[in-house]
Structure 1
Amino acid sequence: MSVVYQHFRPEEKEFIDQVVEWREYVDRTYAAKLTDFLDPRQQFILSALLGENNEVCYQFFGGAENSERKRAYIYPGYFELKDEDFQIGLYEVDYPRKFIQLDHRMVLGSIMSLGLKRDKFGDIRKSGDRIQFFMAEEVESYIFLELNQIGKAKVTIQKQADDPISSDEQWRESEKTVSSLRLDVILAAAYNISRQKSQNLIQQGLIKVNWEKVEQTAFECMASDVLSVRGMGRCKIIEIQGKTKKDRWRIKVGLLK
């Protein structure tokens, strides 16, 4: 396993071990394994570890085709998979829209305040005054019972049969050439700011990588990382395309508009 670990970050070791355990469980028992919602980096790690294997297969699904956070279904090769096997529900927030404005952050904070882990629910979508979220069906009854207020607004949660809204969020993709994969360098290129400003943002604790605060300017970024800058939105490293003849890195990034 030490050979495997060296391709990933030290803090990802626990998740790597978990993926290996899932693979061995499916291989040994011929039974399927459904995971919680995984972020893009975790999906990348799982794909890298399981690879193309006819004996142990996997698929991702987050409730809609373009979901960011997805559950993984790991299963024996003979298994016929359906969307229902992912056990994902779609829920809409009903609130007094004429008087109150809700946003993604408020919904996320309210759900988290109930004591649920982030990996039990997927994307939160907002289009105009409509807000929906995807969630693991096993915690559905708890959400119906406990989520009755977001901010100062009294709310009710309605399950939707199959009508996900298109999110207002749009990703703008671009290709960049950077001198290194350091966090400060990637931020400067993605947001078109100076490297000094990106270093200041990191040192002020305003940057998260895969939803964890990072304060080291030399932190090395990897494929599928999601970077969050307080007040400036998110970007993601879609692909690391390799090096140029001048020994610079070519990367593809997505910036949330």
Structure 2
Amino acid sequence: MTIYQHYRPEEKEFIDQVLNWKHTVEADYAPKLTDFLDPREQEIVNNIIGSNHEVKVNLFGGTSFAERKRALIFPEYFQCEEQDFNISLYEVIYPKKFITIEHPQVLGSLMSTGLKRGKFGDILFQDERIQFFVTQEIEEYLSIQIESIGRATVSLKKLPLINAIQLTDSWVELSVISSSLRLDTVISAVFNISRQKSQSLIQHGLVKVNWTSIENSAFECRESDIISVRGFGRTKLIGIEGKTKKDKWKITAGKQK
């Protein structure tokens, strides 16, 4: 029995990386800090390291509700503190009266710096305020690079983490029946759209499962998957509860706009 059989084939590369981190911490007897990880990657790290006694892991994304988090993998002697995660918070200063900035524009500007997505944490919006988290090691480079977002001339203001916009998790739970666990049928059931429509969304690259674009309608969904459909929002498969008498799947899903 291998560790890989519990995961999808496309996750093997990341699993190898986690195992390598674990072995490095064991060998060097020193902590290892990762870039920001999406929730699926966090789950894999927790599964592989979480129950280990000699090597431990903590996750932090700048605030308690953060979706993207850095993992600190450390030997048992190490006392983990929030400052060990090396996360900085920035607020975007821009002419709010004259212009609107949206999430894709902020992410696009951050990515245009040539840095990997893992260097950036959550992007937070509240009314006209915009903030984002970054790894401390790139903040100096970033503050020089970001002069505009969309059509807006902007500046960045560094803030203490305690000043982060406070957001709440807004999953609404619902029960649905799906004829199979195929991606197209699950999307159809949760978002109440036709299967033809869900297949079109998948084929046009508008669907992600666990932050990875999936263009195969027959892709099989599993419990705890997070499915993002552009224009419709997100759903999380909280539980796959078995089959009905008519051989259909009962699914408990969380829905988020």
Q: TM-score scaled by structure 1? A: 0.91
Aligned amino acid, residue 105 of structure 2: M
The separation in 2 between residues aligned to 1:210 and 1:106, in whole angstroms, is 22
1:54 match: 53
Q: How many angstroms does 1:244 deviate by? A: 4.4
* Mapping for residues 204-219 of structure 1, pairs under 5 Å: 204-219=204-219
The separation in 2 between residues aligned to 1:177 and 1:5, in whole angstroms, is 30
The separation in 1 between residues aligned to 2:76 and 2:104, in whole angstroms, is 40
1:9 match: 8
Q: How many angstroms does 1:220 deviate by? A: 1.6
Moved more, 246-255 or 63-72: 246-255
RMSD over aligned CA atoms reads 2.0
Change (3 A) 1:33 1:250: farther
Whether the 8 Å contact between 2:209 and 2:228 is mirrored in structure 1 is: yes
The separation in 2 between residues aligned to 1:84 and 1:252, in whole angstroms, is 37
Whether the 8 Å contact between 2:59 and 2:72 is mirrored in structure 1 is: yes
Moved more, 87-96 or 48-57: 48-57
Whether the 8 Å contact between 2:89 and 2:133 is mirrored in structure 1 is: yes
* Mapping for residues 1-257 of structure 1, pairs under 5 Å: 3-161=2-160, 162-167=162-167, 170-237=170-237, 239-244=238-243, 246=245, 249-257=249-257
Q: How many angstroms does 1:177 deviate by? A: 4.2
The separation in 2 between residues aligned to 1:52 and 1:242, in whole angstroms, is 26
Gaps of 5+ in 2: none
Change (3 A) 1:23 1:229: same
The separation in 2 between residues aligned to 1:231 and 1:111, in whole angstroms, is 22
Residues 48-83 of structure 1 show CA distances to partners (whole Å, capped at 9, x for unaligned) of 212312211111111111111111111111211111
The separation in 2 between residues aligned to 1:175 and 1:90, in whole angstroms, is 38
Aligned amino acid, residue 163 of structure 2: D
Moved more, 146-155 or 205-214: 205-214
The separation in 1 between residues aligned to 2:73 and 2:250, in whole angstroms, is 32
Q: How many angstroms does 1:181 deviate by? A: 2.4
Residues 176-221 of structure 1 show CA distances to partners (whole Å, capped at 9, x for unaligned) of 4434322112212221222232122212332122333211111122
Aligned amino acid, residue 51 of structure 1: G
Whether the 8 Å contact between 1:127 and 1:168 is mirrored in structure 2 is: no
Equivalent residues, number: 255
Aligned amino acid, residue 6 of structure 2: H
Residues 125-161 of structure 1 show CA distances to partners (whole Å, capped at 9, x for unaligned) of 1000000011111110011100110011000011111
Whether the 8 Å contact between 2:228 and 2:234 is mirrored in structure 1 is: yes
The separation in 1 between residues aligned to 2:21 and 2:211, in whole angstroms, is 24
The separation in 1 between residues aligned to 2:169 and 2:108, in whole angstroms, is 19
Whether the 8 Å contact between 2:223 and 2:240 is mirrored in structure 1 is: no
Moved more, 15-24 or 179-188: 179-188
Aligned amino acid, residue 234 of structure 1: R
The separation in 2 between residues aligned to 1:20 and 1:171, in whole angstroms, is 32
Q: TM-score scaled by structure 2? A: 0.91
Whether the 8 Å contact between 1:126 and 1:168 is mirrored in structure 2 is: no
Whether the 8 Å contact between 1:177 and 1:250 is mirrored in structure 2 is: yes
Aligned amino acid, residue 102 of structure 2: D
The separation in 2 between residues aligned to 1:55 and 1:178, in whole angstroms, is 43
Gaps of 5+ in 1: none
Percent identity over the alignment?
A: 52
Moved more, 120-129 or 41-50: 41-50
Moved more, 212-221 or 192-201: 192-201
Change (3 A) 1:61 1:182: same
